[in-house]
Copies of this chain bind each other. A is one copy, B any other.
């Protein structure tokens, strides 16, 4: 059982922090899209819990953690209330939210990879599910809001790569029997710092090697 790398209460607190910041990002998008208060709550819940829900369905961990832990369900509602009443202030704190979101990304990619491995998946599949845990909620958020997922867009700073690196580090540690709270924490921090750097220096991924093509211009 790698899943409890940290003591349960530490792990649970970290999970709730990740859920809270993801929920804030969902609630803010809902406000921007002019949704009502229930729309804000739904988008907060989906953003915060969607990635883990997908992972749990795939690995057969039913009912998923999102439906068995009351704290997981209530936390996004707190984020909803906060955004509902304070959203101009929350928006002014966007930079802070982004830092927390980067922390959530790091925590979720590591926790997702470890949980998937505990349920018997291979290392590559576990790393994929770690990535899906970290980015899945954001993709669902954008699909429900009827926008192109920002994960896929070339004009956004790198988001998937930090999570891929974090998940891959965990998979490599498991492979070489070196997964400890220390290495695990190191993976979280690496993903976190990479994401911060990507935002700070506007790292972007290349688009298709299409210089000889005129397709994009004519579309």
| Residues of chain A at the chain B interface (Cβ within 8 Å) | 30-40, 42-43, 53, 57-60, 62-64, 67-68, 70, 73, 83-88, 91, 119-122, 124-125, 128-129, 139, 143-149, 151-154, 160-161, 204-210, 212-213, 215-216, 219
Q: Are B83 and A208 in contact (CB under 8 A)?
A: yes
Q: Are A62 and B67 in contact (CB under 8 A)?
A: no
Q: A62 near B70 (CB under 8 angstroms)? A: no
Q: Which of B73, B125, B143 makes the CB contact (< 8 A) with A67?
A: B125
Count copies of this chain in the complex: 3
Of B37, B39, B84, the residue contacting A153 (CB under 8 A) is B39
Q: How far is the CB of A75 from chain B (nearest CB, A)?
A: 13
Taking CB atoms, residues of chain B closer than 8 Å to A207 are 31, 34-37
Known: A63-B58, A145-B148, A152-B42. A215 touches B91 (CB 8 A): yes
Contact A87 B210 (CB under 8 A): yes
B residues less than 8 Å from A213 (CB atoms)? 87-88, 91
Query: In the docked arrangement, what's the CA distance between A114 and B74, Å?
Result: 21
Docked-complex contact B73 and A125, CB < 8 angstroms: yes
Q: A35-B154, A38-B161 are in contact. List 7 more A-B contacts (CB 8 A).
A: A32-B215, A58-B64, A86-B209, A91-B213, A91-B215, A143-B146, A144-B152
Most buried by B among A36, A53, A122: A36
Closest CB pairs A-B (n = 7)? A39-B152, A60-B62, A36-B205, A36-B154, A67-B125, A88-B213, A146-B148
Q: Report A14 CB to chain B, min CB distance, Å.
A: 22
> For A215, what are the chain B residues with a Cβ–Cβ distance below 8 Å?
31-32, 87-88, 91
A203 CB → nearest B CB, Å: 11
Bound-state CA distance A149–B145 (Å) is 8
Give complex CA distance A130, B50 in Å. 18
A208 touches B40 (CB 8 A): yes
14 A-B residue pairs with CB within 8 Å:
A31-B210, A32-B216, A33-B148, A36-B206, A37-B208, A38-B161, A63-B120, A67-B125, A88-B212, A88-B215, A139-B144, A143-B146, A146-B146, A146-B147
